[in-house]
Structure 1
Amino acid sequence: RRFAASFLPVLYSLVFLVGLAGNILVIVVLFKYKRLKSMTDVYLLNLAISDLLFVLSLPFWSYFTVDQWVFGTPWCKIISWIYLVGFYSGIFFIMLMSIDRYLAIVRAVLSLKARTTFHGLITSLVVWLVALSASVPELVFRESFNEHNFTTCKPRFPGNFTTWKLFSTLEVNILGLLIPFIIMTFCYSMIIKTLVHCRNDKKNKAVKMIFVVMIVFFFFWTPYNVVIFLQLLEFMGVIKDCQLSRSLDYAFQVTEILGLFHCCLNPVIYFFMGEKFKKYLKMLFKNWQLPGYFCKWCGVHITYHTESTSSFHTQSTGDQD
């Protein structure tokens, strides 16, 4: 805990500020300039909302790393639930964006009917329901209680603790890593196979951005999934090495904050890989008449000029495909 208290509050604060500003900008751009015209616009909006859920929980966890849990059981349940809902919904929306690209490129005829804003809203609703349902154990079992003269916030499973621990860990590993990995691997293998035979620069740019979003997600969250699985093996007595056990405690804290950094990165990816997003951001800052020094700091200049058309992100079939 002393290890966590020495550096986690600073990192949490950094992630909070950058993630909050970045994802709010994405939401503003989508509403003001894109107006949710395509299925992918809907998914990007929901992905930004998922990242914001992570961000909004960080002040609570930051305080908890340097002190006891002082917010009581209700907030213990709510904040833990928000954290897990953000985790599940984030990976589910990245998965849906990969399926969206698969339909647009591999199943182009089918995509004419399937890739609509209405279907995007319906599938988004389903994703939120699944994410909320998968996170219900946090609402049920999380509690604030005194443990060794220290008030903590963690699950208190009834009955067979081992069974519930096994279930909760495998749920995160399967829903948050294994299933999305299988689906996205299939989608991108088929996309690459199709693009090899039929080159299209616009489609290539759209695929590249979503592919980077996917790779970044797995890079930042796979270590966390591996560590919690190893901790499960330790809990079940499969791993009995004391030194390894201590290393896993440190690894858990490091990989968790690594995963949280992910919520800052999607807006950065859009900015560097999406020309239209940069264009809309320039227009937004110009309308707000922000000071020039701020715009130079964020890479956006007040002197706005028309840029060549490119993709901020994947568009609907009629818009881009």
Structure 2
Amino acid sequence: MSSSSTESFEVETSNFYYYYENYNDAPKPCSKESVKRFAASFLPVLYTLVFLVGLMGNILVIVVLFKYKRLKSMTDVYLLNLAISDLLFVFSLPFWSYFTIDQWVFGTPWCKIISWIYVVGFYSGIFFIMLMSIDRYLAIVRVVFSLKARTAFHGLITSLVVWLVAFSASVPELVFRESFDEHNHTTCKPIYRGNFTTWKLFSTLEINILGLLIPLIVMMFCYSMIIKTLVHSRNEKKNKAVKMIFAVMIVFFFFWTPYNIVIFLQLLEMIGVLRDCQVSRNLDYAFQVTEILGLFHCCLNPVIYFFMGEKFKKYLKMLFKNWHLPGDICQWCGAHITYHTESTNSFHTQSTGDQDAL
């Protein structure tokens, strides 16, 4: 997976030699100077914005979880891990931001580590969104089974599995990423020795399948069953629940599908199916835009799973009750509540039909 838009800036003529038996059939190098200039002025600002918003939002989620929720349910465990995933994701952005402005000055070890952290955050974040969909499915559709299944212990076990899968899927970043000089410019990107086409194909399919196809299928199944159950129930909050469910699906699909489509098209370019230079430039522009779109998704996770829920508004107001400005902000966003201390039981009680956890 590309951890930075600069990976696609330089098109090496030698790369094309993998795909053409006749040297004379190889395409001429395609200039990407305009793409690099666009990235240098466009990406650092957006990387910084995503970093600041994602950092503040997800830290708030973690603080609220530890201070008020106490991690006594499967949902709380998944929310915590999702916030940690997003923090890993945004942690790498200052490095890529500097890279787009100048060049990679942090050496090969940090090139590998930062790329690995970025990809681990990418996969784990998507996997935990998928797990939360399953959690909601069990809570609403399989109510009796969920009484035994939806425990904090089971949440911890499945979370460990997710982290192991994310770490394993990200190993190629540690193996292939290197910092090296290219056209008097130090860069950080994968160097696939041996069969370049095979590794690039594997990398792209891995992202498309693990990062989009499987999670999307699972989410569509879970939420379609949830909607079917809620439509036939007499729950007064079902309309709000259905809206939040659609929000989760639409946001995930909207923010990540374009990115997956672009990297698949870039694969077609690299294997020689797409050869036009202007098409190549347009794909580089599209890659930058869709990557930023995907990055913004980690900023929206706190909004989707917390800020739209009444309970989080209450906890946030309690957290900021001695801070005048944040209190005004909470009142502005609609959190008009009365301060009171809840009992420990009220914090820890699981309700299989509770829609605020969405």
TM-score by length of 2: 0.82
Deviations 1:68-99 (A, max 9, x none): 10000110001111111111111101101111
Q: Report 1:50-199 matches (<5 A).
A: 50-199=85-234
Q: In 2, Cα distance between the equivalents of 1:252 and 1:302?
A: 38
Structure 1 pair 243/300, CA: closer, same or farther in 2 (3 Å)? closer
Partner of 2:278: 243
The answer to whether the Cα contact below 8 Å between 1:282 and 1:300 also exists between their aligned partners in 2 is no
Q: CA RMSD in A?
A: 2.2
Q: Report 1:34-49 matches (<5 A).
A: 34-49=69-84
264-273 vs 166-175, which moves further: 264-273
Structure 1 pair 106/285, CA: closer, same or farther in 2 (3 Å)? same
Structure 1 pair 231/158, CA: closer, same or farther in 2 (3 Å)? same
Structure 1: gaps (5+ residues): 310-314
198-207 vs 37-46, which moves further: 198-207
Q: Which has the larger radius of gyration?
A: 2
Q: Report 1:234-273 matches (<5 A).
A: 234-273=269-308
The answer to whether the Cα contact below 8 Å between 1:93 and 1:127 also exists between their aligned partners in 2 is yes
Q: In 1, Cα distance between the equivalents of 2:68 and 2:57?
A: 16
Q: In 2, Cα distance between the equivalents of 1:171 and 1:226?
A: 13
The answer to whether the Cα contact below 8 Å between 2:317 and 2:335 also exists between their aligned partners in 1 is yes
Q: Are positions 1:10 and 2:45 aligned together?
A: yes
Aligned AA (1:56)? F
Greater helix share, structure number: 1
Q: Please report how far the alpha carbon of residue 41 of structure 1 lies from its aligned counterpart in structure 2 after TM superposition.
A: 0.7
Q: Report 1:28-39 matches (<5 A).
A: 28-39=63-74
Q: Are positions 1:293 and 2:325 aligned together?
A: yes
Deviations 1:142-182 (A, max 9, x none): 11011111110000011010100000011000000001111
Task: Give 2:338's match in structure 1, choosing from 282, 294, 305.
Answer: 305
Q: In 2, Cα distance between the equivalents of 1:201 and 1:302?
A: 20
Q: Are positions 1:220 and 2:255 aligned together?
A: yes
Q: Secondary structure at the residue paired with 1:201?
A: coil
Q: Secondary structure at the residue paired with 1:78?
A: helix
Aligned AA (2:42)? F
Structure 1 pair 29/103, CA: closer, same or farther in 2 (3 Å)? same
Q: Please report how far the alpha carbon of residue 215 of structure 1 lies from its aligned counterpart in structure 2 after TM superposition.
A: 2.6
Structure 1 pair 234/150, CA: closer, same or farther in 2 (3 Å)? same
How many equivalent pairs are there? Answer: 312
TM-score by length of 1: 0.91
Q: Secondary structure at the residue paired with 2:92?
A: helix
Q: In 2, Cα distance between the equivalents of 1:319 and 1:36?
A: 18
The answer to whether the Cα contact below 8 Å between 2:104 and 2:187 also exists between their aligned partners in 1 is yes
Structure 2: gaps (5+ residues): 1-35, 343-348
Q: Please report how far the alpha carbon of residue 268 of structure 1 lies from its aligned counterpart in structure 2 after TM superposition.
A: 2.5
Structure 1 pair 218/225, CA: closer, same or farther in 2 (3 Å)? same
Q: In 1, Cα distance between the equivalents of 2:178 and 2:141?
A: 47
Task: Give me the identity figure in percent.
Answer: 83
Q: In 1, Cα distance between the equivalents of 2:186 and 2:241?
A: 48
The answer to whether the Cα contact below 8 Å between 1:94 and 1:214 also exists between their aligned partners in 2 is no
Q: Please report how far the alpha carbon of residue 222 of structure 1 lies from its aligned counterpart in structure 2 after TM superposition.
A: 1.1
Q: Secondary structure at the residue paired with 2:189?
A: strand
Deviations 1:34-74 (A, max 9, x none): 01121111111111111101111111000000011000011
Q: In 2, Cα distance between the equivalents of 1:169 and 1:211?
A: 28
Partner of 1:312: none
